[in-house]
Amino acid sequence: MPKQLMHNEKILAFFFFFSLAGIFLISLCIGRYPVPFSHAAGIIASKFFSIRQFWAEEEEAVILFLRLPRILLGLLIGAGLGISGAAFQGIFRNPLVSPHILGVAAGAGFGGILAMLVSNNSFLVMVSAFAFGIVSISLTSIVGRVRKTSHPLALVLSGIVVGAFFTALISLLKFVADPVDRLPSIVFWLMGNLAGASFAKFSIVSVPILVAMTLLVLLRWRINILSLGDEEARTLGTNPEKLRWLIILCVTVIVALSVSVSGIIGWVGLVIPHIARFAAGANHRILLPLSAYMGAGYLVIMDDIARSLTPAEIPLGILTAIIGAVVFAAVLKHAFQKNTYGN
């Protein structure tokens, strides 16, 4: 795609909407139980129009109750992690931060497995994960607050500390967990996966995640101003502190809810903004929506591979890390040669 087109928001939105629709339909067909494309399209269309059934009952069950919620959740979380990464890299003025940098993912992960130790109720796991996500961002803000302000670097450093703290607590819980009964499911959940997707989960997390994403999209151009540093932002008439916290709040909601339904899926929020920046330039006005589109497509494709490559499901987080690392290395290598990050 030529670079000039990448700067036209409408053309970009059009192109990515249809490519996501394509990925969505193809993903419905892929899996250990393949469904012909025409059947998959018919099953989805039958929900909106009256169409005479020409597919098997099992196909409809697989698509509607297993694959559809899973793909929708994948699109939502991929988009959320992509846009969160782009926003955080902007406001922390650092292309190497990920949405997990403030410790929210580690906190939410701890909350999730704490609930798994005491109960099999997946909604309790969600609530506990979200709650500990909020606890961790609160701790990060307290630790990072110096003389009534939160310097971005202080926040990142305290986020690393809080993240490390909760990661240690996660190890502790794994150590004490029953190795036969509980440990395998905890380890699988922590690696990040969409295997537990359901419409119930999707309907709980989708509204707050979409609200947070919408806010980030509306603030996308302001992130350019924040990325110049606080002093310049102030002289350009923007209050950096308040704006930064609003963005952190949005990302916290997205990350904590994502972890609560899918565990810790790493690398998407780090790699996707780089690829988007490489394709369309640094302007966050384009970068944020593009990262959302690309994150959504990337995560669903990764999940297709995770659930169809081998009879036993591969945890999604492992795939995003392996493929993410390779892609990231290639993009970085090329970006340094093109001097994309300045001197």
Number of residues that bind another protein (CB under 8 A): 32
Contacting residue, 90, 163, 240, 266, with another protein by CB under 8 A: 90
Contacting residue, 180, 235, 312, 337, with another protein by CB under 8 A: 235
**Tokens describing residue 250:** 């949005």
Q: Least distance in Å: CB of 3 to another protein?
A: 10
Report DSSP letters for 22-57, one per residue. HHHHHHHH-SSS---HHHHHHHHHTTTS-----S-H
Torsion over CA: 302, 303, 309, 314 (sign): positive
Q: How far apart are CA 316 and CA 265, in angstroms?
A: 7
Q: How far apart are CA 294 and CA 276, in angstroms?
A: 7
Do residues 13 and 289 lie in contact, with contact meaning Cβ atoms separated by under 8 Å?
Answer: yes
139 vs 286, which CB is nearer to another protein? 286
Contacting residue, 26, 282, 305, 318, with another protein by CB under 8 A: 282
Q: Which among 110, 80, 112, 74 has a CA at the least distance from the CA of 98?
A: 80
Q: Least distance in Å: CB of 5 to another protein?
A: 15
Q: Is 277 in the site for another protein (CB under 8 A)?
A: yes
Q: Which among 84, 85, 100, 77 has a CA at the least distance from the CA of 193?
A: 77
25 vs 228, which CB is nearer to another protein? 228
Q: Is 220 in the site for another protein (CB under 8 A)?
A: yes
Contacting residue, 33, 41, 60, 93, with another protein by CB under 8 A: 93
Q: Which among 103, 135, 261 has a CA at the least distance from the CA of 194?
A: 261
Contacting residue, 94, 122, 141, 198, with another protein by CB under 8 A: 94
256 vs 272, which CB is nearer to another protein? 272
Q: Under rule CB under 8 A, which residues in 285-314 are in contact with another protein?
A: 285
**Tokens describing residue 13:** 């939105």
Lookup result for tokens 């998407």: 268
186 vs 280, which CB is nearer to another protein? 280
Q: Under rule CB under 8 A, which residues in 34-73 are in contact with another protein?
A: none
Stretch that binds another protein, among 119-127, 138-146, 247-255, 282-290 (CB under 8 A): 282-290
Lookup result for tokens 């029953």: 178
Q: Least distance in Å: CB of 207 to another protein?
A: 19
Contacting residue, 38, 53, 232, 336, with another protein by CB under 8 A: 232
Q: How far apart are CA 339 and CA 332, in angstroms?
A: 10
Count the alpha carbons within 13 Å of 252 in the hemisphere toward its beta carbon.
Answer: 23
Whole-angstrom CA distances from 169 to 148, 155, 162, 173 are 29, 21, 11, 6
Q: Is 122 in the site for another protein (CB under 8 A)?
A: no
Q: How far apart are CA 250 and CA 262, in angstroms?
A: 18
Q: Is 249 in the site for another protein (CB under 8 A)?
A: no
Contacting residue, 146, 236, 322, 329, with another protein by CB under 8 A: 236
Do residues 79 and 210 lie in contact, with contact meaning Cβ atoms separated by under 8 Å?
Answer: no
Lookup result for tokens 């419905």: 28
Contacting residue, 182, 201, 222, 307, with another protein by CB under 8 A: 222
Q: Is 6 in the site for another protein (CB under 8 A)?
A: no
Binding residues for another protein (CB under 8 A): 90, 93-95, 218-222, 224-225, 227-229, 231-232, 234-238, 243, 277, 281-283, 285, 339-343
